[in-house]
Amino acid sequence: MDKKIAVITGDIINSSEIKDKKLMVMLMKEVFIEIEGFYKSYIPHPFEIFRGDSFQVVVDLRQALRIALVVKAGLLKGTIKLKEELNPRISIGIGDKGVIVKFLRESNGEAFHISGKELDNILAQDKEIGMASDNPYLLDDFHILCTLLNVIVRGWSPQQAEVVYYMFMGKTQQEIANMVNISQASVSQRMQLASWKELTHVEHYYDVLMDRYIYK
């Protein structure tokens, strides 16, 4: 099973309309470095930014959904600094590892192809997150999970995404309150509005699917 990997591919929605592209890239790099530091055990190859607004990373299968959601929340919170919407479209592709070279965009393997194709699919369908796999038994479940996830993430404000990001980065509600200068009650309210509880249920079912179809 070590030949199976997850590849996350994404781009920034409507990036051509963003005026301060230098700040956009800087914020992307900051978030990716933070995520790499916190989830270093699950990210064997660092994030790669290409074409100015696109990115890719190889991650552990178990943590693929979690890291995709962290990226989504982390970049969306960047809207607060950028003063323009920094909202990523993200796909997760699960498949054979293939050949990984220095530049991920030049790597070759089923997981890379699946992830790239899924990103094209969600672009065509005007969705913000998608999952696909070379295992056909996963596809129906992935479709259901992503239908729910797209409803959830479309409703995030940058401030709600900020709280979700820091929760995924191991912060307590009180620590977040201190960091963003709001009350702990306000943090709890933002978590509720961001459907934090529902996200944990989706993550749990993703783990069940990995146990059922991948880790046997």
Residue 118 · residue 131 · CB < 8 Å: yes
Residue 101 in this model has a pLDDT that exceeds 60:
no
Chain segment 196-211, per-residue pLDDT in tens: 999 999 999 999 999 8
Q: For 182-204, what is the mean pLDDT?
A: 97
* pLDDT for the residue numbered 97: 73
CA distance 110 to 107: 10
Residue 14 in this model has a pLDDT that exceeds 90:
yes
Residue 88: φ, ψ to 5°: -90, 150
CA distance 144 to 187: 29
CA distance 44 to 36: 9
* pLDDT for the residue numbered 212: 87
DSSP one-letter code for 164:
H
CA distance 171 to 174: 8
* pLDDT for the residue numbered 1: 43
Question: Can you read off the two tokens belonging to residue 20?
Answer: 């301060």
Residues 6+ away with beta carbon under 8 Å from 150: 127, 128, 129
Distance of CA 3 to CAs 110, 111, 123, 160, 209, Å?
Answer: 10, 10, 28, 36, 18
Q: Which CATH class is domain 4-213?
A: alpha beta
Chain segment 43-65, per-residue pLDDT in tens: 988 899 999 899 999 999 999 99
- Of 160, 209, 212, 199, nearest to 66 (Cα)? 199
The least confident of 44-53, 118-127, 161-170 is 44-53
Chain segment 61-95, per-residue pLDDT in tens: 999 999 999 999 999 999 999 999 999 999 999 99
CA distance 108 to 202: 30
* pLDDT for the residue numbered 85: 97
* pLDDT for the residue numbered 50: 92
